[in-house]
Chain A
Amino acid sequence: MTQRTFPKADNDQQRIEVLHELKILDTSAEGVFDEITALTASIFDIPTAIISLVDSERQWFKSRQCLPAQQTDRDVAFCNYTIMDTEVFEVDNPQTDPRFADNPLVTGELGLRYYAGAPITVRGFNIGALCMLDYKKREGLSEGEKEMLKTLARIVARTINDRRLIRESAALVSELMMGDE
């Protein structure tokens, strides 16, 4: 299968390094992230909300509501577009959008009909997106709703960064404890 084209920032490699430093890819589910996606789905009354982390060749989901897949190839990810910007990226008619009309997430079993995502920015880089999906047409978000989605994405970003800091201090404290012997 030929790879689909998608936009990629000049600093994509640096962005991926930051994502890897956070050591969150392929980790177990954590309650706090599942709570945020559940809350997002509930606030926007939408079936699927996801925390998607965009790795070099894939997007991997730290948390997902009502989505069977744990990851997808990067080239089909709508989030590639979201992480190019600081604003909400929204697609309300993918079937007529030339960027997505032949995307397997749209044409295939999933039947994606709506996407909205806000970038998750940690240490200055968009490591992924808090996004939501619907499988029927729906109206676009109001300006106020976009702000809410961005706020939730900032909470995710803060939580991911804190998570790393807590882990690093746990390692440090334990080393002190052992050095004390």
Chain B
Amino acid sequence: MIIDQEFCDRALQNLQIYAQRIVDTAGNTQKVELLSRLEIGESNIALEDLFREMTPAQTLEVAERQMLAGSILHSQTGISVSINVDNSVLVEKQLQQRLLEMCERYRYPMILEFTELRPMPPADEINRLFFDIKLNDITIALDDFGTGFNGMSVFADYDFDIIKIDRSMISGIESRPQKQKILHHIRGLLDALDKTHVVEGVETEERYQNLVDLGFTTFQGYLFHRPENVGDIR
């Protein structure tokens, strides 16, 4: 299938929004992440692939739909909602401003997740934007930590409140004590930096136990919950 501009335009009309629960060690739902997917016939295309082709303004439109769906979900359930924002939005001043206006308009306890699909603008500029966004009861997460562009200075220099650790960072840890040590150290650094975390892509009981032993407390993955229809979240 070819993903081009025309396809993106149509896609925007057909987005389906799902929600995946993020749980603590007691299995309680801490928050949900909204996921937009495109369903056309047999194919089921992940948002990340679409984001690569969409214009930055289109990705912001997707984020706004999620904010709206999230505000309904939040008002009905009281659960915090995590929303993906493509970081191409951060590259354009005008879109930064639109994002800030959206946050001011919706204003409920939401989490904005940014991936590093593209290199991030300098930290001082982005931290100023994050500062203003956070005045609206909003927290900011770095998605897919461990897969990004800017080395990992993003974790250190940008004011993310939540670090979402990518599945690639935890793959094969059972048999790799050195990797476990580093993960344990990262866990400590997160505390020292007053950041919270979510470990993504947890799929087996063994890996989950390993991560709990290393001090991690918040998880997302098929072991716990698959994405659900937004309306099924209670």
In this complex, which of A23, A27, A30, A174 has the most chain B Cβ atoms within 10 angstroms of its Cβ?
A: A174
A167 within 8 A of B: yes
One digit per residue, 1 when the CB lies within 8 angstroms of any chain A CB and 0 when it does not, for chain B 183-221 equals: 101100100111000000000000000000000000000
In this complex, which of B152, B159, B183, B193 has the most chain A Cβ atoms within 10 angstroms of its Cβ?
A: B152
Is A178 in contact with B124, judged by CB distance below 8 angstroms?
no
- Whether A177 touches B192, Cβ cut-off 8 Å, given contacts A28-B131, A167-B157, A168-B156, is no
Which residues on A sit within 8 Å (CB–CB) of B186? 170, 173-174, 177
Is A181 in contact with B152, judged by CB distance below 8 angstroms?
no
Select from chain B the residue with minimum beta-carbon distance to A164: B156
Give bound CA distance, A14 to B145, whole Å.
Answer: 35
A-B contact number at CB 8 A? 68
One digit per residue, 1 when the CB lies within 8 angstroms of any chain B CB and 0 when it does not, for chain A 20-39 equals: 00010111101110000000
- Whether A171 touches B151, Cβ cut-off 8 Å, given contacts A176-B182, A177-B182, A180-B179, is yes
One digit per residue, 1 when the CB lies within 8 angstroms of any chain A CB and 0 when it does not, for chain B 140-171 equals: 00000110000111011101010000001100
Select from chain A the residue with minimum beta-carbon distance to B123: A23
A139 within 8 A of B: no
Which residues on B sit within 8 Å (CB–CB) of A180? 178-179, 182
A166 within 8 A of B: yes
Select from chain B the residue with minimum beta-carbon distance to A168: B156
Within 8 A of B (CB), among A25-60: 25-28, 30-32
A2 within 8 A of B: no
Is A169 in contact with B189, judged by CB distance below 8 angstroms?
yes
How many residues of chain A are within 8 Å of chain B by beta carbon?
A: 22
Which residues on B sit within 8 Å (CB–CB) of A176? 182
Q: Smallest CB–CB gap between B87 and chain A, Å?
A: 18
B30 within 8 A of A: no
Is B182 in contact with A173, judged by CB distance below 8 angstroms?
yes
Give bound CA distance, A170 to B187, whole Å.
Answer: 10
- Whether A166 touches B157, Cβ cut-off 8 Å, given contacts A28-B131, A177-B169, is no
- A-B residue pairs, 4 tightest by C-beta: A174-B152, A167-B156, A171-B156, A28-B159
Q: Which residues of chain B have a CB within 8 Å of any CB of chain A?
A: 123-124, 127-128, 130-131, 134, 145-146, 151-153, 155-157, 159, 161, 168-169, 178-179, 182-183, 185-186, 189, 192-194
